[in-house]
Amino acid sequence: MLSVAIQTLGITAPVFVMLFIGVALKHLGWIDAAFIQTASTLVFKATMPTLLFLSIINADLDAALQPALLTYYVIATVAMFFLAWAWALWRCPAADRGVYVQGAFRGNNGIVGLALATSLYGDYGLSLGGVLAGIVILVYNSLSALILAIYNPNGRVSAGTILLSILRNPLVIGVTSAVPFAYWQIPLPDWLMTSGRYFAQMTLPLALICIGGTLTLSVLRESSRIAMGSSMMKMVWLPALATLGAGLMGFRGADLGILFLYFASPTASASYVMARAVNANHQLAAVIIVITTLMAALSVNVGLFLLGWVGWL
């Protein structure tokens, strides 16, 4: 368990380093609100779609195509979304429900989940984790666009407008446009792939610096109650329910372990980018990311210990 804890800290620590760099740069006056707005737009509209596109076309579909497991993961993710939404209707102000729900169900699978799956289960973890991440990225972004559109701060929108917001979402476009390339294994020129990787590598550091630049003590105080509620949903209650369901469905060993790691990943930094793009409470989104990333070092290890204790791993 200690080795897993060290691995988890090794993966999450760089996230906090970039957050603190953002805090420091804002404090020094080297970045300002205009920079954060521009950089967040760049991430949302360009670098993150590129990153998602590359992750899909590089996934080894043949090595990890398991219909039963993939189907369960998608169903469980959709179920977690609706459970979080139902809870938010009771516990969260209407203005913050979109951000609350997104923070409660959307995991950082592409960074934390995939890294832990690869570390614990080697090539199998990399292949299965890559396919899982690719599939759920489309689900995450579609459901996030839906909930943020419903609770749009500018007022309610029609069903047609919600559908258009999903179809026009750059992250959704990045994923769907990659599917034909991955399925038919259409090669791209080496120079284009290399340039794409250079561009995509800006995504995580730039997004985290923007999140750090948004954080202040007053924001942490004002958002603490709602953010903690969403964080507990993301890191404790929903992963426990989804993993229990997977165990009862008969998943065991590496398959169950990878499912758990993906269910228990902290909230993705993309949730901040999308919240900011639609003028939602992006500060609340930033706090949820910080809290869930802090919690991951404990909750992931406790979950793995319990699964091993009951003999499911």
Enter the DSSP assignment of 96.
Answer: G
What's the Cα-to-Cα distance from 290 to each of 13, 18, 25, 156, rounded to whole Å?
A: 11, 11, 18, 29
* pLDDT tops 90 at residue 253: yes
Q: What is the pLDDT of residue 117?
A: 85
Identify which has the larger pLDDT, 264 or 152. 264
Q: Report pLDDT for 61.
A: 64
DSSP assignment of 104-118 equals: HH-B-IIIIIHHHHH
Residue 6 to residues 18, 28, 186, 298, Cα–Cα distance (Å): 19, 32, 39, 11
- Find where tokens 């090539």 sit: 123
What is the pLDDT confidence band of residue 4, given thresholds at 50, 70 and 90? Answer: low
Non-local CB neighbours of 77 within 8 Å, separated by 6+ positions: 105, 136, 139, 140, 143, 242
CA distances from 2 to 35, 74, 223, 305, 306 (A): 40, 31, 32, 10, 14
Q: What is the pLDDT of residues 258-297, one digit of tens each?
A: 999 999 999 998 899 999 988 899 999 999 998 998 888 7
pLDDT bracket for residue 1 (50, 70, 90)? low
Task: With CA atoms as reference, report the closest residue to 270 among 194, 189, 208.
Answer: 208
- What are the tokens at 128? 């299965």
Task: Give the chain's domains with CATH numbers.
Answer: 2-309 (1.20.1530.20)
33-81 pLDDT, tens digit each: 999 999 999 999 999 889 888 877 876 666 656 889 999 999 999 999 9
C-alpha 98: how far from chain center: 15
CB 259 within 8 A of CB 245: no
> What is the dihedral sign for C-alpha 33, 38, 42, 45?
positive
